[in-house]
Amino acid sequence: MAELSASVQKRSARNISGLLNTIERLGNRLPHPFMLFVYLALFMIVLSALVSLFDVSVVHPATKETLKVKSLISGEGLKFILTSMLENFTGFKPLGLVLAMVLGIGLTQRVGLFESVITKTIIKAHKSVITYTVFFIGIMANIASDAAFVIIPPLAAVVFYSIGRHPIAGLAAGFASSGIGFTANILIAGTDALLSGISTEVAQTIDANASVSPVDNWYFMSVSTIVLTIVGGLVTEKFIEPRLGAYDGETGKKELDFTSNTLENKALRNAFIAAIVYIGLVALVLFLPNSPLRGDGGTIIPSPFLDGIVPIILLFFITVGVTFGVTMKKIKKTSDVPALMTDSIRDMAGYIVLVFAIAQFIAYFNWSNLATWIAVNTADGLSSINLTGLPVVIGFVLVTAFLSLFIISGSALWALEAPVFMPMLMLLNYNPAFIQVAYRIGESSTNMVTPLNPYFAILLSFMNEYDKKAGIGTLMSLMIPYTVVFLIVWIILLLAFGLLGIPVGPGVGMYIN
């Protein structure tokens, strides 16, 4: 029996290894995301010319206007390509949203506030809840963007090692929470601003008044944070850690120093006070009689408050970041603030370059009317075979999870999928913000099970500090259980929200009202 079990395990390991090798080979053949969208833009130019030869048209579902597919290889098309290029780039809604958020979040990250809060929270957690604390902080740490990948896993490993637990179990918890749980958060993060901008841009091709704000997935992602914390903790303690067994390796890591830093404690206290004061002032203005932040009739949904949520969040991060930085003496003069912000924006150079190509692709897709033509015909086709309702959404989640193995950038993948899937699903009456939630589930679930992830090698190096023999297969075998369980739980949660009529964000249900 033991030999049979060992044989089955070896065969399973070979199958997984073969699958991973296939994924790696296919993924390595993909060009850089910037070049991918350049090629797609060129493909769109050729495709529009070919389809236009058949004189096809489509009736816009909202305006009832008949739209012909237009060729980009024509006088009109050439004029559009040349005259709209700069406007496509500068008018791309996600660009301003993301850069504005980075000014505040990047400043806060540069002064060390995020790292300090994360470290203090994990270190002070009771041993009985340390796994769940790691997961909660790891998921919440996506507010610091990709910095979470290099802060949470090694810190979690040292914490586990310090209390006599297997450090690789800590690494696994850190990997899974900061990577697979990346899209969830109780706070409004840069991801919300980035994706909602793309969603709005695409949704308006179907409905000119459509809008997805950074808070439109807030309820669902807040609940997801709690649910994934519990589920991730259980997977770690009931499956991952028992499978690893007792740790008997050598490590150069020292146990954590649990003593307090007086200056850092003072800075955290001051930042917390600043946060409370800021939130209090915003709440005071919001709930004043005839508040200018409320909508007609005193409503909050919709209201100028929600329309202006990005600058409100930006000022919040600047307030707490400056307070912490001044106390820590990392901000000694006013010129230090724009200098830190400049460093943050400098890190976004790659994103800005990528946006240039994405913006052209989406603009060409929309101008040619191919987006509307594909969406309407696909939606009609699905309706004709009665493939509508939640099965379509679940299928979309699974397709996204698969594509995420090859296209690692969440914004790049959404820019690729949104022009096709969002119009199609909107024509089936799904709310664009609900469609965005489905995308986020699929994309985030497979974040850490592909060697194409730019942080994969870094995470593997962290693991090698505790196990010199650990390789890609080791890391994959640790991440696959989290990926499968998280994806299943997330889909169930999405179904619960949809079937029970629970809004995924303020005033946002499953269907378009």
- Quote the CA–CA distance of 168 and 146 in Å, as a whole number: 21
- Quote the CA–CA distance of 503 and 513 in Å, as a whole number: 12
Within a domain: 92? yes
pLDDT tens-place values along the chain, 513 residues long: 555 555 554 565 566 556 545 654 554 566 777 887 899 899 999 999 999 999 999 887 656 788 899 999 999 999 999 999 999 999 877 677 678 877 887 898 789 887 787 677 776 777 778 899 999 989 988 776 666 776 778 878 878 887 888 999 999 999 899 889 989 999 887 788 889 988 998 899 888 889 899 899 999 999 999 999 999 999 999 988 988 888 886 655 445 455 557 898 999 999 999 999 999 999 999 988 889 988 877 777 567 887 787 788 789 989 999 999 999 999 999 999 999 999 988 877 887 888 898 889 888 988 998 877 876 777 677 667 666 778 889 989 998 888 887 666 777 788 878 888 888 899 889 999 999 999 999 999 987 887 656 566 667 777 877 888 777 677 878 888 899 999 999 999 999 999 999 999 998 999 987
Using only the alpha carbons of the chain, give its radius of gyration.
Answer: 24
Which pLDDT does position 3 carry in this prediction? 57
Return all residues near 147 (Cβ < 8 A) that are at least 6 apart.
109, 114, 115, 141
Domain count across the chain: 1
CB 436 within 8 A of CB 191: no
Q: Give the DSSP letter of residue 103.
A: H
Which pLDDT does position 359 carry in this prediction? 86
Which pLDDT does position 144 carry in this prediction? 64
Span between the terminal Cα atoms of the chain, in Å: 59
Within a domain: 98? yes
Q: Which helix (H) or strand (E) holds 59?
A: strand 57-59
- Quote the CA–CA distance of 282 and 305 in Å, as a whole number: 9
Within a domain: 184? yes
Residue 508 phi/psi, 5-degree rounding, is: -115, 110
Return all residues near 113 (Cβ < 8 A) that are at least 6 apart.
267, 268, 271, 320, 321, 324, 325
> In terms of Cα–Cα distance, which of 310, 393, 367 is closest to 97?
310
Within a domain: 278? yes
Task: Indicate yes or no: pTM above 0.75.
Answer: no
Within a domain: 210? yes
Which pLDDT does position 200 carry in this prediction? 92
User: Where in the sequence is the domain holding 332, given as residue range(s)?
Assistant: 45-500
Within a domain: 25? no
- Quote the CA–CA distance of 105 and 102 in Å, as a whole number: 5
Strand partners, 59: 66
Within a domain: 204? yes
Within a domain: 15? no
CB 415 within 8 A of CB 362: yes
- Quote the CA–CA distance of 485 and 239 in Å, as a whole number: 12
DSSP 108-141: HHHTTHHHHHHHHHHHHS-GGGHHHHHHHHHHHG
- Quote the CA–CA distance of 78 and 45 in Å, as a whole number: 10
